């Protein structure tokens, strides 16, 4: 998808080809809008170990998708929402445990 977008023949040493096949043009376009092709290539060639490339691309795709859904906060907004939900559920768990211990104590009386 990257080479097709840039209107050039995809070479065997293209670093983006394994991660953005022609069928996945929309995913490539969202990453390109946020990061730019040159930055993605630079990140993959200079910034990460070869074993981490798959995870790096997944992270770039997730961030681009999150930014597309929420241009202001992106993935940080999702993380904040999930943290608030976890805190609320932890509070509910404490209340449920208190109620359970009260009911158990009532049962044993």
What does the pLDDT look like over 47-88, one tens digit per residue?
Answer: 788 888 889 989 999 999 999 888 888 889 999 999 999 999
Q: Are 16 and 45 in contact (CB under 8 A)?
A: no
The verdict on 6 and 25 lying in the same domain is yes
C-alpha gyration radius of the chain: 23
Q: Could you tell me the residue range of the domain that residue 99 belongs to? A: 72-108
Q: Give residue 95's pLDDT band: very low, low, confident or very high (50, 70, 90).
A: very high
* Res 94 pLDDT > 70: yes
Region for 7 from its dihedrals, namely left if φ exceeds 0, alpha if ψ lies in -120 to 50, beta otherwise: left
The verdict on 86 and 63 lying in the same domain is no
Please tell me the total count of domains within the chain. 2
The verdict on 49 and 65 lying in the same domain is yes
Q: Give residue 15's pLDDT band: very low, low, confident or very high (50, 70, 90).
A: confident
Q: Are 37 and 2 in contact (CB under 8 A)?
A: yes
The verdict on 43 and 81 lying in the same domain is no
The verdict on 45 and 77 lying in the same domain is no
Span 44-54, pLDDT tens digits: 888 788 888 88
Q: Give residue 5's pLDDT band: very low, low, confident or very high (50, 70, 90).
A: low
The verdict on 9 and 55 lying in the same domain is yes
The verdict on 31 and 61 lying in the same domain is yes
Judged by average pLDDT, the poorest of 4-8, 25-29, 70-74 is 4-8
**pLDDT at position 109:** 76
**pLDDT at position 88:** 98
């Amino acid at each position: 998808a990257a080479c097709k977008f840039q209107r050039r023949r995809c070479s065997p040493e293209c670093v983006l080809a394994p991660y953005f096949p022609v069928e996945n043009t929309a995913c490539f376009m969202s990453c390109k809008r946020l990061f730019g092709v040159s930055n993605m290539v630079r990140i993959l060639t200079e910034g990460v170990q070869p074993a981490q490339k798959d995870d790096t691309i997944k992270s770039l795709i997730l961030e681009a998708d999150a930014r597309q859904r929420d241009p202001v906060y992106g993935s940080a907004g999702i993380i904040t929402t999930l943290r608030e939900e976890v805190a609320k559920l932890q509070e509910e768990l404490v209340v449920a445990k208190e109620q359970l211990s009260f009911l158990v104590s009532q049962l044993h009386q």
